[in-house]
Amino acid sequence: MPTTPATAANSSPNGTMQPILLELVDENGHTIGTAEKLSAHQAPGQLHRAFSVFLFDEHGRLLIQRRALGKYHSPGVWSNTCCGHPYPGEAPFTAAARRTYEELGVSPSLMAEAGTVRYNHPDPASGLVEQEFNHLFVGLVQAAPRPDAQEVGETAFVTAAELVERHARDPFSAWFMTVLDAARPAIKELTGTAGGW
């Protein structure tokens, strides 16, 4: 994993990883504290800041990923291009760009804010809960993904119609449709009406 100012801040001098902290927020998205990542996701969950990224290629196809089987939360399911949590004090835009590179080995050629959405999604398989105030981003990608196998099991570029078929056939993350629907106005503006999004 590349060392960035944010990841370096979570490493101790002897190289061991410190607990990852998330930013807790109120219903309006104002920071009210921090919590360790796993504890923030244990039922009933603590409302925390998150982000979701939707990147499209030059043909208007969405880059989706299947989460690696080794992930403790929602392993092996399909989801949007990238999602995660800013470190405390890290701007959501910065975190979204950072994690897209860390997980997929690509940097968006364009990325824009697409609003926020608040949701509460339990994951029946793990018992964990996503209580998130999620910052949405849409953009373009021009390079082929080079995923980190510890984070991503598989990637695919899909049209809107192909996504509908895949969603009916394969397991997706509990939050996927919520964040996709919230981002649709910005996605349509980015891809145009012909894309079907």
The active-site residue out of 90, 103, 132, 151 is 132
Distance CA 22, CA 51 (A): 12
C-beta contacts of 94-97 below 8 A and 24+ residues apart: 94/6, 95/6, 95/51, 96/51, 96/53, 96/135, 96/137
Distance CA 162, CA 137 (A): 21
Please give the structure tokens belonging to residue 155.
Answer: 């990637």
In the annotation, is 82 catalytic?
no
Under 8 Å between Cβ of 3 and 17 = no
Q: For strands 48-56 and 129-140, give the pairing.
A: parallel
In the annotation, is 83 catalytic?
yes
The active-site residue out of 83, 90, 103, 130 is 83
Which amino acids are annotated catalytic? 83, 132
